[in-house]
Amino acid sequence: MRSFFTTGFKSGKILRSFSKHFKLDSKKPDFVVSYGGDGTLLYSERIYPGIPKLAIRSNRKCALCAKKTARTIHKASEKIYCDSAIEEIIGCLKKRQYKIQEFDKIKGTAFVKRNGKTKRFTLIGLNEVQVHNSNHSHAIRFEFCLDNACIEKEIVGDGVVAATAYGSAAYFYAITRKKFKKGFGIAFNNTIQNHAPFFLKKKFKAEARIHRRHAVLLADNNPKGIPLREGDRVIIEPAKEKARIIKLR
């Protein structure tokens, strides 16, 4: 890897350190250093999809550094390395002491009817995509089908979340209190009737069709959601694209 770029708030320290060893390239970098928390990594993947990501965060967020027990490369959280060993991290990259792990992503495609025409919009997430009520004071009513089989003609609640294994510890876990390591999971959000989550393998095709009220299609922390109205539908399925995360050896 010869070129890099950084994302994240207050990433000047990272920029200066990596610039001594790699070429700065904002257009087509060989890898991206995501400096911040999980949200920064999601943002990095959205802006630079498929390009290897090295996730780093400040040692101020690291419990090991707070105890002053860390001296070498370690993680400040489950998925993110601590910047206290930044020179050692750079050394690993230069010596190619790393591997790139690929993670599944998930895709939501909205088919919306406006002025007699149907338009198509797609969002892709590393953690999840979801159909969520756009007005928090009103539940939505929607039909849900999975692999061409109707699961429920009308579900009343806040929506549905489809997560990857990478994102199973995020919103999916907040709803179900369950995690998974492979495949995908689908959970129904705050519904009147209890609906158990689905745990799926690599291939599946789910559909949510809005019957009443307005909703929005969302992906990860992307602020640009797709508005949905009565009669609109969303197809949810695995994305062809993969996220690529750098794991240091």
What is the topology classification, in CATH, of domain 105-241? Answer: Tumour Suppressor Smad4 (2.60.200)
pTM across the whole model: 0.93
**Cβ 41 vs Cβ 48: under 8 Å:** no
Sequence-separated (6 or more) residues with CB below 8 Å from residue 69: none
The SS3 assignment for 136 reads coil
Indicate the domain borders of the chain. Answer: 3-96, 105-241
Query: Contact, 49 vs 41, CB < 8 A?
Result: no
Q: What pLDDT score was predicted for residue 70? A: 66
Q: What is the pLDDT of residue 45?
A: 98
For the chain, residues with pLDDT lower than 70 are 70
pLDDT in the model for residue 63: 84
Q: Which two tokens stand for residue 212?
A: 């009443």
| pLDDT for the residue 118 | 95
- DSSP 8-state symbol, 196: -
Tokens representing residue 8 in the block: 């994240």
User: Using one digit for the tens of pLDDT, what is the confidence trace for 102-155?
Assistant: 999 999 999 999 888 999 999 999 999 999 999 989 999 999 999 999 999 999
Helices and strands, number each (H, E), in the chain: 5, 17
Residue 248's pLDDT is what? 95
